[in-house]
Chain A
Amino acid sequence: METNAVRYSSPALAEKIAQNYGSTVRKVQVTMVGADDVSKLIAKVEKARANAHTKPMKLD
């Protein structure tokens, strides 16, 4: 499940930078090698944070 997706697509900016060198942009499709593992870890951390109050640590 995707949550809070904010993406910053910048084709015009990429093109401007390329033009500074008399060049053009190159498009590359990427397979994210660790996406599932990273997503699981983020989800686990967020779940732990949501449940943190169930066992507060006492400090004095």
Chain B
Amino acid sequence: MSRLAPATAINVVATDRPFSSFAFTEAHFAGTAPIRRIFSLGRGHGARTLVIEDVPAAVAVEDENTELTELNPDYRMGGLKRISFWKEPFSDSERITSLGDDHCLGYAILKRDLIPSRGVDRWHVFEAVFVQNSHEHNYCPAGYRFPFRAGGKEFTVRGCLYAQQNNLNKACAQVALRSLCATYLGDADLTYRRINDLASGGDPNFNPANGLDSVKIAKVLDGLGIPFFDLNYLADPTLQRDFPYQKLVYSGIETGCGSLLAFKLSGPSAPAEGHIIPCFGHTFNEDAWGPHADVMYFTVGAQIAYVPSRAWTSSFIVHDDNLGANLCIPQSFVKDENAGYAVELLPKGYSYSGALAEIVASDYFYSLLPAVFNTGRGNLWVNRLIHYVTDQRLILRCVPITVNGYLEYLGKAEDWEHEKENPQSLEDLTALKPEKLWMIEVSVPEVFSTNKRKLGEILLDAENPLSDQVDGTSFVLARFPECYVFFDSISSTGQPSFLTSPSNFKSHLPLLTR
């Protein structure tokens, strides 16, 4: 892969003033917006040095060149540069061997495509990986530590791979897929030919330059063995009212798998085709106004209303191949009527959406809590929890977890008074099944946003398909202050019964963090 190939030439460039990224990119790379954005990210992170290397086409780049030659016989690659950005100031390439991953801010592979018969001569970002922005409100769960070479040494940088379209063998759909799937699979060698072959299904009339449609995107994900949950809002516009695209996009981000969002462009010159972007992070603004102002409720019928944790999200963190890497897009910037298609990537072995799990869990919370605590509410935190049930202001957050992960979490957790769980109970809970779970955490205002803590959780089976009934199906366990809840049985009339057992935790515990 060109990321790891030995360089044929190397140049070290200091980026301290008066170095101008604008002038440099204009002089060497024709200064397109995504390339400028790469240099802007470097500047923003405090890059002091660029290492610019000529590298040979290998693996994914080489494969793309073959594909482009098949499509355009006079195609040739006019250049391939690997550029890495460093915090340390240095001028001698020998210094690189003394650097470590912590000194690196990111790398980019810039490629020049030439097709004389079509007048094509342009640079684009074949791929780039940058560390996430250092803003304290930014969270980027979907990332992978990609290896690359600078000088004679291999480094790694964690991020979500960015890629730009070239309108030749890849449009926005293919680059969005490569970005997210390479990150999900930890495989930067994922080729466009593989994506296009899966999308075309052998159709001889398939032209990758024309992009993909939502059905082909699903075929690619299926072919790569990536479980996903998608909704087509064009096919049923009423879905946006009942299941807004933001819910699905956020769920994919929170799992660390990522999401795709496709939308129509608006305006008199808007094209008929839509645009699609990968989403891999979100902001969390603990002083957000929305959740307090009752404008961020999610309702299911007349009985259930809750505040999803995404109410504290101002923006999704995305790549837009036309504009550049690591950008924030306000979560409601894409108008409901323009949202066309959204895909939530799921963890391996998960069979349904975390957003759906959250909705199902909401019914369990609003049904279980008053029933379990109908007498003897001696615990202050239970009383507060019940108050928020009555007010329909519970806060829910859905994350994936395994049984082992859950028990590890419980074993480390302390409540606010530093109480830990009974070790024998933790041992007993190893009998829980199945292994893969959705954990829907429940909290109340301020405890959630300020302390990032919670008052309990419900675990749902994530391995088996979700039933359309909510009667104990999929339910694995609930935990609240001083109480575990297990499913027991269902009556002949369909009413479920549950069993409660004590817990040593008397107040709130930390939210699950990665």
> Using a CB-CB cutoff of 8 Å, which residues 25-60 of chain A contact chain B?
25-46, 48-49, 51-60
> Using a CB-CB cutoff of 8 Å, which residues 462-514 of chain B contact chain A?
464-477, 484, 486-491, 495-503
- On whether the beta carbons of B359 and A7 are closer than 8 Å, the reply is no
- On whether the beta carbons of A2 and B467 are closer than 8 Å, the reply is yes
**Which B residues are CB-close (under 8 A) to A8?**
433-434, 461, 475-476, 487
Partner of A36, one of B216, B301, B433: B301
Q: In the complex, A26 Cα to B500 Cα: how many Å?
A: 5
Known A-B contacts A34-B301, A46-B468, A59-B276; the reply to A6 vs B425 at CB < 8 A is: no
> Using a CB-CB cutoff of 8 Å, which residues 7-35 of chain A contact chain B?
7-11, 13-18, 20-21, 23, 25-35
- On whether the beta carbons of B172 and A56 are closer than 8 Å, the reply is no
> Using a CB-CB cutoff of 8 Å, which residues 350-372 of chain B contact chain A?
356, 359-360, 362-364, 366-368, 371-372
- On whether the beta carbons of A37 and B211 are closer than 8 Å, the reply is no
B231 within 8 A of A: yes
A47 CB, min distance to chain B CBs, angstroms? 8
B75 CB, min distance to chain A CBs, angstroms? 20
**Which A residues are CB-close (under 8 A) to B444?**
none
- On whether the beta carbons of A9 and B488 are closer than 8 Å, the reply is yes
- On whether the beta carbons of A34 and B501 are closer than 8 Å, the reply is no
Please tell me which stretch of B84-92, B233-241, B286-294 contacts chain A, meaning at least 4 of its Cβ atoms lie within 8 angstroms of it: B233-241
- On whether the beta carbons of A26 and B499 are closer than 8 Å, the reply is yes
- On whether the beta carbons of A37 and B491 are closer than 8 Å, the reply is no
* Closest A residue by C-beta to B305: A34
- On whether the beta carbons of B464 and A38 are closer than 8 Å, the reply is no
> Using a CB-CB cutoff of 8 Å, which residues 425-469 of chain B contact chain A?
425, 428-429, 431-434, 461, 464-469
B383 within 8 A of A: no
- On whether the beta carbons of B171 and A59 are closer than 8 Å, the reply is yes
* Closest A residue by C-beta to B212: A59
Partner of B428, one of A17, A28, A52: A17
> Using a CB-CB cutoff of 8 Å, which residues 222-257 of chain B contact chain A?
229-232, 234-236, 239, 242-243
- On whether the beta carbons of B501 and A25 are closer than 8 Å, the reply is yes
Known A-B contacts A7-B473, A11-B486, A57-B234; the reply to A29 vs B497 at CB < 8 A is: yes
Partner of B488, one of A5, A18, A27, A59: A27
Extra A-B contacts (11), CB below 8 Å, given A57-B234, A59-B275: A20-B422, A32-B471, A34-B303, A34-B366, A38-B304, A39-B469, A56-B213, A59-B172, A59-B173, A59-B212, A60-B271
